[in-house]
Structure 1
Amino acid sequence: MQQSPAMPERLRLYLDLIRWNRPAGWLLLLWPTLAALWIAADGFPGWHLLFVFVAGTILMRSAGCCVNDVADRDFDRHVKRTAQRPVTRGALAVKDALAFGAVLALAAFGLVLTTNAPTILLSVAALVIAIAYPYAKRIVSMPQAVLGVAFSFGIPMAFAAVQGGREWSLAAVAAAVPKHAWWLLIGNLFWVLAYDTAYAMVDRDDDLRIGMRTSAITLGRFDVVAVMAFYAAYLASWGLIGRSLGLGRWYLLGIGVAAAIAAWHYTLIRERTRDGCFRSFRINHWLGFAVFAGVVVDLALR
């Protein structure tokens, strides 16, 4: 009978499962969510909501890793970058990974319960989309679009948390989440398409061999052009929406810095090397941070 790993080793496996030493994933989720939180509150949202959304983002990203690794375990063993993930190599059982993911998701839901009814309702929709994403790779040609919705759903939730009330209805959700919040979500979806297409370019050869569907494969030789177009759509949409909401020159400066970062990322991905594309993904969160910083500074100096 095989003995279970010692506790320190088992802890290391769980930390590896949720990518604890690779924070890029939850930072990509965090910056647009916090930017929306600041915009919705017209400034600092308070320590309670800040804690809920920071901790909730980390917990849900970690739970998503658990579901993703279980869903993709048969594919991941054929991909160089993912072959050594704990579930893929059999170091962690599927039931243990799912149980851990459930605990993390419940902890995140416990945080959401401290907000209000519209936010709680939106969190259920967010969970459904997050669970659906790993399986979208088998159905749609650009599953990164599904990931874009999942990674952007913190935006309407942030508005609901600030502006929502106690009523449990879709009408209450509609009242708490203004139209510009949904436009911000759509704009942010283009950023997710940009960085996750660059991420998919890393594994293109492996994905073609095993029959996985990704935006990098669907876009083919237009992948680099598309990534840059996605960046442009994201920054243009957020710039225009921000201006329509009264954000000024400091916000536009943040958009400008983000545009400069996007231009630099072109130099990383234009040759389509694994190292360049992977580096582009790993440091992409700085682009989102530049936009968030522009929001915070502009609202603080009004």
Structure 2
Amino acid sequence: MQEPAPLGPGQDAPLPDALTGHWVDTRAPRRIRPFLKLARIERPIGWQLLLLPCWWSAGLAAIATGQAFPNPWHCLLFLIGAIVMRGAGCTFNDIVDRKLDAQVARTRGRPLPSGQVTVKAAALFMVGLSLVGLAVLLQFNSFTIIAGIASLVIVAVYPFMKRITNMPQFVLGLAFSWGGLLGWSAVTGRLDAPAFLIYAASVVWTIGYDTIYAMQDIEDDVIAGIKSSARYFGDHGREAIALCFATAVLLAGLAVWNAGGGPIAFAGLAAFAGHLGWQVSKLKGVTSPVALSLFRSNWHAGLLLAVGLALDALGRFALQG
């Protein structure tokens, strides 16, 4: 195996699941690096996965309402909101889990358990990010604002779930998939069947990909007493993930059908399904690096569906014109 390249002047050693050579570790001022790491800026997959249900739902709404493409302003707001609220959520999670994180090899180098940031400073940082998220949310209609605020209940309870349930990934799915509701309500001012279906699809998809992610920590989780779906499924993890992914595809297909999607949307769904199937094929005897790589690849899987929905809206608009 090739030895990792030595760090240059001003570089920090990245956390185990961070992108190697990210600008946070190489170029950001040292004083703010711990806060950027609290927000997981060097691990963009989190906000990417939080963003995708928003874009899926916005694409479905564009198809259903005859728009040429998902509302660009909404998509930008969802992007900003996903980045800052993922950062706020991760900071809250790290405050709650700082003692558990100190017992897990992958997480003990995080800013709080390693002492780089105090709890008070982290709390103030979380409040600041939350205020930015609120400013983004206030750009939408009143129904979407209320729906967005309601999600905070799930976000608040999630960090405690790994202590009391074998399926904290389900609660994570409820939180991470909330954009599947907001993308639709931002356009229509209400919730309809396609929004609920794409939300449900995202929930089971989240359980699947986060179970892959949790496969990295099974041994440490046993020692620390942390519960996870990877531990719960055990030797049947691959089959459970396959079931989650198949259910996600089925529910997403029903959402596309209910929204009036056409061939291009279903082609995007087929590409999404193919990518998920490829992930399952790689899970037998999976190692931690492969699990992390497969987990990250869900950004590309989700983009295939998002692009299919957007192109379907554009194609239908062109034909009607």
Global fold match (TM > 0.5): yes
- Paired residue secondary structure (1:177): coil
Please report how far the alpha carbon of residue 262 of structure 1 lies from its aligned counterpart in structure 2 after TM superposition. Answer: 1.4
Please report how far the alpha carbon of residue 269 of structure 1 lies from its aligned counterpart in structure 2 after TM superposition. Answer: 2.1
The equivalent of 1:254 in structure 2 is 268
Matches within 5 A, 1:123-272: 123-164=148-189, 176-272=190-286
The equivalent of 2:19 in structure 1 is none
Structure 1, unaligned runs of 5 or more: 1-6, 165-175
Matches within 5 A, 1:58-97: 58-97=83-122
| C-alpha distance in 2 between matches for 1:237 and 1:20 | 31
Residue by residue, what CA displacement relative to the aligned partner does 1:52-84 show, whole Å, maximum 9, x if unpaired? 211111111111110111111111111111111
Contact 2:194 2:254 in 1 (8 A): no
- Paired residue secondary structure (2:30): helix
Contact 2:195 2:255 in 1 (8 A): no
Contact 1:26 1:58 in 2 (8 A): yes
The alpha-carbon distance between structure 1 residues 136 and 261, as it changes in their structure 2 partners (threshold 3 A), is same
Please report how far the alpha carbon of residue 275 of structure 1 lies from its aligned counterpart in structure 2 after TM superposition. Answer: 1.2
| C-alpha distance in 1 between matches for 2:206 and 2:264 | 24
The equivalent of 1:106 in structure 2 is 131
The alpha-carbon distance between structure 1 residues 244 and 160, as it changes in their structure 2 partners (threshold 3 A), is closer
Structure 2, unaligned runs of 5 or more: 1-27, 317-321
Please report how far the alpha carbon of residue 237 of structure 1 lies from its aligned counterpart in structure 2 after TM superposition. Answer: 1.3
The alpha-carbon distance between structure 1 residues 160 and 241, as it changes in their structure 2 partners (threshold 3 A), is closer
Q: Which among 279, 287, 300 is matched to residue 301 of structure 2?
A: 287
Aligned residues: 285
Residue by residue, what CA displacement relative to the aligned partner does 1:110-150 show, whole Å, maximum 9, x if unpaired? 11112121111111111221121111111121010000010
| C-alpha distance in 2 between matches for 1:288 and 1:45 | 16
The equivalent of 1:33 in structure 2 is 54
Residue by residue, what CA displacement relative to the aligned partner does 1:201-220 show, whole Å, maximum 9, x if unpaired? 11011001111110011111
Residue by residue, what CA displacement relative to the aligned partner does 1:132-169 show, whole Å, maximum 9, x if unpaired? 111111112101000001011111122221112xxxxx
Cα RMSD (Å) of the superposition?
1.4
- Paired residue secondary structure (2:164): coil
Q: Which letter does structure 1 place at the counterpart of 2:42?
A: N
The equivalent of 1:173 in structure 2 is none
The equivalent of 1:54 in structure 2 is 79
| C-alpha distance in 2 between matches for 1:145 and 1:46 | 30
Residue by residue, what CA displacement relative to the aligned partner does 1:226-276 show, whole Å, maximum 9, x if unpaired? 011111110111112212322122112112211221122124322131111
Please report how far the alpha carbon of residue 50 of structure 1 lies from its aligned counterpart in structure 2 after TM superposition. Answer: 2.1
| C-alpha distance in 2 between matches for 1:226 and 1:192 | 12
Contact 1:138 1:212 in 2 (8 A): yes
The equivalent of 2:146 in structure 1 is 121
| C-alpha distance in 2 between matches for 1:216 and 1:188 | 18
User: Which deviates further from its counterpart, 213-222 or 238-247?
Assistant: 238-247
- Paired residue secondary structure (2:108): coil
Percent identity (aligned): 35
The alpha-carbon distance between structure 1 residues 57 and 148, as it changes in their structure 2 partners (threshold 3 A), is same
| C-alpha distance in 2 between matches for 1:111 and 1:65 | 18
Q: Which letter does structure 1 place at the counterpart of 2:120?
A: K
| C-alpha distance in 2 between matches for 1:269 and 1:286 | 18
| C-alpha distance in 2 between matches for 1:152 and 1:39 | 15
The equivalent of 1:170 in structure 2 is none
| C-alpha distance in 2 between matches for 1:106 and 1:123 | 13
